[in-house]
Amino acid sequence: HTLGWISKVYVNPPAVVRHAEQIQKWRTVKGNWQAAWLLKAVTCIDLTTLSAKHPIREDLLKAMDMHDKGITVAAVCVYPARVTDAVNALKAAGCNIPVASVAAGFPSGQTPLETKLAEIKLAVQYGAREIDIVISRSLVLSGQWEGLYEEIRQCREACGEAHMKTILATGELGSLANVYKASMIAMMAGSDFIKTSTGKEVENATLPVGVVMMRAIKEFYWQTGFKVGFKPAGGIRTAKEAITWLMLVKEELGVEWLKPELFRLGASSLLEDIEKQVSC
């Protein structure tokens, strides 16, 4: 296939930013609705700690009559060296939450491709059911789209049965047009999810970037019939921010994307705030 179309991609940044700002101005949801949105958010979190099985205190869930609904996070995300421990800990807790592992030279992506592929294969061997890879940003910045496609395709192959989330590190890609292009290439190469950031960049998940990535997901769906998931990560700390992301996904992609199979929130400190809000 040819990637000639990629040079013609145009994104209108002021329009994207305006649209993202409007979302933030929407009325906040209150009361029971807010609690429902927040529990939905919890089920879509990729958590970086092991409080995954009981993310929300039992007494709070009981008060909402949700204690027997199996409210758990979507996955537990760790480094490759911790996968075995995480798998065993969850198994011991009688819990079927998948372990996701970062791989492919996280967070910088600055390792040789063979090292990246070996790291992915090891993480899968250790029991990771999801792999969050990082791309080589330099391939985007120098416009090497075929090279980017090939790298992601090989990572996808190394994942085997595991789901692959591709981290674009959008804050380091230079432009919204590059974010769109990298999103499309990542999906064409077989990513199950595209993810904004590692959480280690200076700029993490922003709403304008989210809009652009979701527009790419929509376009890819129209062209191929494949639904690719979306994961904002980094800097999402408050319940209000989590709800804003959920609303944006609902607005851009529709309610069918609001489930852990197609939407994840990468967040470590978000749970505490959600618990505070739910207990109000």
Q: Which positions are catalytic?
A: 195, 231
Cα dihedral 43, 46, 49, 55 in deg (nearest 10) = -10
Both tokens of residue 60?
Answer: 């709070």
From CA 217, how far away is CA 253, in angstroms rounded? 8
One-letter identity of residue 196: T
